[in-house]
Amino acid sequence: MVVTVGTCLLVAFGSTAAETNKSDPMTLKEAFKNDFLVGAAINLDQIYGRDSKGVPIIETQFNSISPENVLKWEVVHPKPDKFDFAASDAYVNFGERNHMAIIGHTLIWHSQTPAWVFEDVNGKPLDRQSLLNRMSNHIFTVVGRYKGRIKGWDVVNEALAEDGTLRESNWKKIIGDDFVEKAFEFAQAADPNAELYYNDFALENEAKRNGAIALIKKLQKQGVKITGVGLQGHYLLTEPGLKQVDETISTIAALGVKVMITELDVNVLPSPARAFLGADVSQRYEARAGLNPYTNGLPDSVQQQLARRYAGLFSIFLKHRGDISRVTFWGVSDGDSWLNDWPVRGRTSYPLLFDRNHAPKPAFHAVIESAVDTQASTSSGGELVEKAGAHKN
Ligand code: XIL
């Protein structure tokens, strides 16, 4: 009898999923409203409302935004005595107007940080204390300006090398290994209520992941506040494997921090080098034959492969919905993506859920469906338990 009830329920929920898929009444933020925030990184044209097709998508589909570039040091603090908050103010206003969770990206990074930051007036490398003063001034000024308005900050971005040791950045070379905890301490003092994140790519690779775990444990042992870890999620069609993503989320969540997927995209274009996984912005390759195969559109087989890849990734994210607080895409439509210019310039890339005309792709439907399927199985499972209990009584 219980089996019959269960079967009926599954059939009923199955048709709901099919209807949803046909007419798409559901948006990303609705689909995952009981699971995690769904965000997008937004660019200048979107912040200033010039992207008339992109903005409505951001406003209807997403409940969180990240700044693709406008809160990076080179934009917000271009000269020692000059801060420029024009674009970041507009970014924060955009998020507030739309009642979104507004993310700050990023305070301390080796990239998109001007050379002067690490030099004295004579162009010589700065000493530790002077660089700490500069770091503190930057963090207090930027975080302080948006205190209570920016929900969480990528305090330190990409501090780790691929082998799990600290990257030989200017931050590490001049300040020493403790530059990471100093940055978190300054950020906490600047806005005690803000969430504070460590963000990096390729933590799915074991050596680097172990480095991240050691780093987080060290911060926790020292009593430094760290709220969450961002897995950037710059993925390929087949790499990393779902099992690797699954294990990465589990092991990081086990540290007692939130996990976020912060810069999700799936690159369908050929890799210029073997086993090329990651997002090291300094790695660049020359364009050559074969590296840009889809200039006239994405073949249907690859389009479907991308949809299946996204469905697989979201099945893992949903499995961990108790630990994942946000999934953010790095861009809105394929035309926006940084992957059109990295790691090879001038390619035609297809990594996101909306195409160049801002139409939802099969990958979009696959992502929505993953949420509907999960809701259906959770609800029918719940019903079954209830009915079974009732039957017993
Ligand atoms: C990228 C932006 O998308 C580009 O517009 C910019 O030219 C370079 O940086 N990891 C990060 C992001 O943390 O800030 C990077 O964003 C992509 C890799």
Secondary structure (DSSP) of 78-114: -BTTB---HHHHHHHHHHHHTTPEEEEEEEE-SSS--
Ligand 1 mutation target, pool 42, 342, 345, 352, most atoms within 8 A of CB: 342
Alpha-carbon dihedral angle through residues 349, 351, 354, 357, given to the nearest 10 degrees: 0
For residue 199, which atom of ligand 1 is closest to its CA?
13
For residue 168, indicate whether it is catalytic: no
Output the pLDDT for position 380. Answer: 64
Q: Please give the Cα distance from 278 to 265 (Å, whole number).
A: 11
**What's the gap in Å between 352 CA and the centre of ligand 1?**
15
367 and 314 Cβ atoms separated by less than 8 Å: yes
Confidence of residue 277 (pLDDT cuts 50, 70, 90): low
Q: How many domains does the chain have?
A: 1
Residue 11 lies in a domain: no
Q: What is the mean pLDDT of residues 375-393?
A: 47
Give domain status of residue 121, yes or no. Answer: yes
User: What is the spatial distance between Cα 257 and Cα 136, in angstroms, rounded to a whole number?
Assistant: 24
Mean of pLDDT values over 165-170: 98
Nearest to 119 by CA among 127, 109, 108: 127
Q: What is the pLDDT of residues 304-360, one digit of tens each?
A: 999 999 999 999 999 999 999 999 999 999 999 999 999 999 999 999 999 999 999
Determine whether the shortest distance from the Cβ of 43 to ligand 1 is under 6 A. no
pLDDT for 387 = 30
> In this structure, is residue 387 part of a structural domain?
no
CA distance 374 to 318: 8
Q: Is residue 392 part of a domain?
A: no
pLDDT of residue 283: 86
Residue 391: predicted pLDDT: 32
Helix H or strand E segment including 157:
strand 152-157
Amino acid 280: pLDDT = 87
Q: Which residues contact 65 (CB under 8 A, 6 or more apart)?
A: 39, 40, 41, 42, 58, 91, 94, 95, 100, 101, 102, 103
- How many angstroms separate the CA atoms of 387 and 358, rounded? 45
390 domain residue, yes or no: no
Average pLDDT, the chain: 90
Distance 277 CA to ligand 1 centre (A): 15
Q: Is 113 a member of any domain?
A: yes
Mean pLDDT, residues 196-219 taken together: 98
Give the mean model confidence (pLDDT) for residues 176-191.
98
Catalytic-role residue among 185, 204, 263, 369: 263
- For ligand 1, atom 18, the nearest C-alpha belongs to 279
Measure the CA–CA gap between 259 and 230, rounded to whole angstroms. Answer: 6
Q: What is the pTM of this model?
A: 0.91
Q: Is the pLDDT of residue 275 over 80?
A: no
Rounded to the nearest angstrom, the distance between the alpha carbon of 166 and the centre of ligand 1 is 20
The CA-based diameter of the chain, rounded to the nearest angstrom, is: 83
Q: How far is CA 161 from the centre of its chain?
A: 19
What digits encode the pLDDT tens for the residues 60-107?
999 999 999 999 999 999 999 999 999 999 999 999 999 999 999 999
Active site residue 263: yes
Residue 204 lies in a domain: yes
Is 220 within 8 Å of 190 (Cβ atoms)?
Answer: no
pLDDT given for residue 18 in this prediction:
35
Question: How far, in Å, is the centroid of ligand 1 from the Cα of 354?
Answer: 19
276 pLDDT band (50/70/90 cuts)? low
pLDDT at 386 exceeding the cut of 60: no
| CATH (domain of 185) | 3.20.20.80
Query: Is the pLDDT confidence value at 390 over 80?
Result: no
Q: Region 152-157: what's the mean pLDDT?
A: 99
Give me the pLDDT at residue 376, please.
79
- For 153, phi then psi, to 5°, come to -120, 135
The percentage of the chain sitting over the pLDDT mark of 70, rounded to a whole number, equals 89
The whole-angstrom separation of Cα 89 and Cα 47 is 10
Is residue 6 over pLDDT 90? no
264 lines ligand 1 (CB under 6 A): no
Q: What is the number of the ligand 1 atom nearest to the C-alpha of 279?
A: 18
Q: Where in the sequence is the domain holding 78, given as residue range(s)? A: 16-280+291-379
Asked if residue 256 is part of any domain, the answer here is yes
